[in-house]
């Protein structure tokens, strides 16, 4: 089975306060770099065949820190890009919580299309397809995919067989590691979600 380690990017100064989405120019900063190095140390004992990442700065920077001890260069995977939040991009979470659509996002996300953006269902489909491409590429080896909270939650909700409206019940912390095993013709095997360590 392919071992896929889904890692949420390290924090940026805006993480948890603003929906930066796909906006360029949001890098890790010193605290984020430190957190990424801790994740890299956790993953150093594991033999990695490849490191993939969403193309945004925060994911690529996290991926580079993780990849360096293994002599690898991160590979861009567009399928695990952050959600397209459309007109919500760049707004503070405080302001978004006051909108009529916030309840839909949290409780019935299957009905949500971000104004000018994408649906959760569409994001789930493209992210799962990307994860399965990576699994096919690495065969029986291990790969890291550095992505985003909602994207990782959507992927894991799919492999858990959950309704889409349940995906918000998961928490994916910055630099957490989710351990997934995939093989063609077999059911997925989920070792851990939102972990701080991994089995070697």
Q: Is a pLDDT exceeding 80 seen at residue 200?
A: no
User: What are the residues facing 22 on neighbouring strands?
Assistant: none
Confidence at 199, pLDDT banded by 50, 70, 90: confident
Average pLDDT over residues 66-77: 98
Residue 87 located in a structural domain? yes
- Give me the CATH number covering residue 108: 3.40.50.1240
Taking only the tens place, the pLDDT of each residue in 73-130 is 999 999 999 999 999 999 999 999 999 999 999 999 999 999 999 999 999 999 999 9
HEC string of the chain equals CEEEEEEECCCCCCCCCECCCCCCCCCCHHHHHHHHHHHHHHHCCCCCCEEEECCCHHHHHHHHHHHHHHCCCCEECHHHCCCCCHHHCCCEHHHHCCCCCHHHHHHCHHHCECCCCCEHHHHHHHHHHHHHHHHHHHCCCEEEEEECHHHHHHHHHHHHCCCHHHHHHCCCCCCCEEEEEECCCCCCEEEEEEECCCCC
Whether the CB-CB separation of 77 and 129 falls below 8 Å is answered with no
200 within some domain: no
Convert the pLDDT of each residue in 32-54 to its tens digit.
Answer: 999 999 999 999 999 999 999 99
Q: What is the pLDDT of residue 54?
A: 98
Q: How far apart are CA 41 and CA 35, in angstroms?
A: 10
**For 121-175, what is each residue's pLDDT tens digit?**
999 999 999 999 999 999 999 999 999 999 999 999 999 999 999 999 999 999 9
Torsion 9-118-108-121 (CA) sign: negative
Whether 9 is covered by a domain: the verdict is yes
Q: What is the pLDDT of residue 160?
A: 97
189 within a domain of the structure (yes/no): yes
- Name 34's bridge partners: none
Residue span of the structural domain in which 9 resides? 2-195
- Round the average pLDDT of the chain to a whole number and report it: 97
Q: How many domains is the chain built from?
A: 1
């Amino acid at each position: 089975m392919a071992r896929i380690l889904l890692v949420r990017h390290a924090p940026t100064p805006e993480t948890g306060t603003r929906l930066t989405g796909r906006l360029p120019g949001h890098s890790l900063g010193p605290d984020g770099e430190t957190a990424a190095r801790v994740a890299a140390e956790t993953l150093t004992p594991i033999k990695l065949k490849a490191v993939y990442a969403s193309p945004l700065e925060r994911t690529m920077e996290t991926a580079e820190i993780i990849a360096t001890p293994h002599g690898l260069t991160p590979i861009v995977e567009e399928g695990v890009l952050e959600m397209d939040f459309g007109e919500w991009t760049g707004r503070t979470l405080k302001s978004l919580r006051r909108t009529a659509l916030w309840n839909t996002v949290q409780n019935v996300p299957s009905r949500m299309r971000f104004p000018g953006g994408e649906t959760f269902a569409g994001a789930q489909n493209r992210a799962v397809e990307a994860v399965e491409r990576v699994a096919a590429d690495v065969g029986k080896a291990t790969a890291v995919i550095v992505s985003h909270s909602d994207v990782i939650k959507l992927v894991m909700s799919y492999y858990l067989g959950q309704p889409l409206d349940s995906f918000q019940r998961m928490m994916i912390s910055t630099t957490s590691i989710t351990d997934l095993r995939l093989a063609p013709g077999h059911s997925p095997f989920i070792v851990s979600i939102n972990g701080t360590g991994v089995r070697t």
